Amino acid sequence: MKISIGIVAYNESASISKMLHSLFQQSLLSKPDSNMVIEIVVVPNGCTDDTAIVAENTLQELVKPSLHGNVQWRVCEVEEPGKSNAWNVYVHQLSNSAADYLFLMDSDIQLLDTQTLRSMLHILETMPEAWVAVDKPIKDVTIKENKNLMEQLSASVSGLSGSKAVEGGAAWICGQLYCARAEVLRRIWLPTKLSAEDSFVYTMIVTDGLKSSEEPNRVILAPSASHVFEAYTSINRLLRHEKWLIHANTINELIYSDLLADDNQHQDTGLWIKQRNEQDPLWLNKLIEKAIKKKGWWLIPKFTLIRRFRSLWQKPPHKAILLLPIAAIAFMVDLLLSFQANLELHQGAGMGYWGKQTQ
């Protein structure tokens, strides 16, 4: 079995070493299987700090020839910043062309359960219908004992994200960590200026490039698999992130609509996006301008404004009642942020805004 682990990094010199140490605590690497060939590819993109140097030094320290004879590693810097572009470069150029499975991983997370990666692989090995295996992302504040007010709020907002996935069942793709069949990911190309790449990848997976209705069971939550990530605990960072999500998901919906247009729907989605990237780096800007002319002033999908209340219907009545005040506040915030995101799209500020949120 051949496995490639791609780690995308943007100015993460302060965290990537800790992340790599948690990676090497995984049973996949601490108890190597002679039948596996593993490569680790770190992809610093547009970095202005020492991310690449720190990654190289850490990997030199961690990879022991006597123990990791089946492990190879590289640090491959990409000049252009942006996670979507780095994703394309890793999946289509840097990863082992003979790999059976590809892991995509952020450089600022910490792997928790030592069986996480092995469990994700096991899902794909034993469930032919699964194309992607994911783990459980855990906010650092949710496992913190003494939370301040903002940390409590951040943890509470997580409760409005809808029904929770069950181990072994269908799940959402979190871009911080997932494992996929290599041949599946290589059918996908991301728009190079895309922000919400995990949402886009999820849609491409469950619809097979928009060729069919959704098949949620193509993405499965692995048991005994989890990672922790840093939650936003300041008002400014939280609001900025939420506005970015609204902004980015609006762009995704515009891309889907364009792909499903009569003159595009018979094309191969991956190749269509690849050609757009190569022919016109600003094609997303033009797509927004086209949507404004067609739709008029309001571009934000209606789902954005009702998502908080919609999630309550999936919860037990007593819990829904307790969360209702938080949902009402979140709705008002979403409404304000939607107006701001909509205005930025009209002002043509989208491209600069995406560049700050691509990691």
Q: Which of 193-197, 247-251, 318-322, 325-329 has the highest mean pLDDT?
A: 247-251
Assess whether 211 and 280 both reside in one domain. Answer: no
- Give 204: exposed, middle or buried? Use CB within 10 Å, 0-12, 13-18, 19+: buried
Assess whether 38 and 134 both reside in one domain. Answer: yes
Assess whether 225 and 339 both reside in one domain. Answer: no
The pLDDT value given to residue 263: 65
Assess whether 197 and 260 both reside in one domain. Answer: no
Assess whether 123 and 264 both reside in one domain. Answer: no
By residue range, what is the domain housing residue 166? 2-231
- Choice between 136 and 34, residue whose per-residue pLDDT is larger: 136
Assess whether 165 and 245 both reside in one domain. Answer: no
Q: How many domains does the chain have?
A: 2
| Boundary residue ending a domain (231, 251, 282) | 231
The pLDDT value given to residue 163: 52
CB 89 within 8 A of CB 82: no
For residue range 233-246, what is the model confidence (pLDDT) as tens digits? 778 888 888 888 89
For residue range 208-226, what is the model confidence (pLDDT) as tens digits? 999 999 999 999 999 999 9
* Percent of the chain whose pLDDT exceeds 70: 89
Rounded Cα–Cα distance for residues 136 and 332 (Å): 29
DSSP string, 130-189: -SEEEEEEEEGGGG-SS--HHHHHHHHHGGGS-SPP-TTSB-PPPTTEEEEEHHHHTT--
Assess whether 190 and 330 both reside in one domain. Answer: no
Give the CB-side neighbour count of residue 115, counting CA atoms within 13 A. Answer: 7
Assess whether 342 and 244 both reside in one domain. Answer: yes
pLDDT band at 194; cut points 50, 70, 90: confident
Lookup: tokens for 145:
């004992």
* Percent of the chain whose pLDDT exceeds 90: 63
pLDDT, the chain, mean: 88
Residue whose structure tokens are 């792997």: 111
Beta bridge partners of 9: 44
The pLDDT value given to residue 359: 39
**Taking the alpha carbons of 274, 286, 207, 124 in that order, is the dihedral positive or negative?**
positive
| Boundary residue ending a domain (206, 231, 256) | 231
- Please say if the pLDDT value at position 177 is more than 50: yes
The pLDDT value given to residue 294: 87
Lookup: tokens for 159:
């409760």
| Boundary residue ending a domain (231, 250, 276) | 231
- Please say if the pLDDT value at position 354 is more than 50: no
According to DSSP, residue 45 is labeled B
Q: How many other β-carbons are positioned within 10 Å of the β-carbon of residue 142?
A: 14
Rounded Cα–Cα distance for residues 245 and 339 (Å): 13
Assess whether 19 and 117 both reside in one domain. Answer: yes
Whole-model pTM: value is: 0.87
CATH number for the domain harbouring residue 206? 3.90.550.10
Assess whether 105 and 200 both reside in one domain. Answer: yes
- Choice between 139 and 7, residue whose per-residue pLDDT is larger: 7
Assess whether 283 and 205 both reside in one domain. Answer: no
Assess whether 224 and 243 both reside in one domain. Answer: no
For residue range 303-326, what is the model confidence (pLDDT) as tens digits? 888 877 777 777 788 877 887 888
The pLDDT value given to residue 352: 43
Sequence letter at residue 330: A
Query: Taking residues 182-206, what's their average pLDDT?
Result: 94
Q: Cα Rg for the chain, rounded, in angstroms?
A: 20
For residue range 40-75, what is the model confidence (pLDDT) as tens digits? 999 999 999 999 999 999 999 999 999 999 999 999
Query: Taking residues 250-258, what's their average pLDDT?
Result: 92
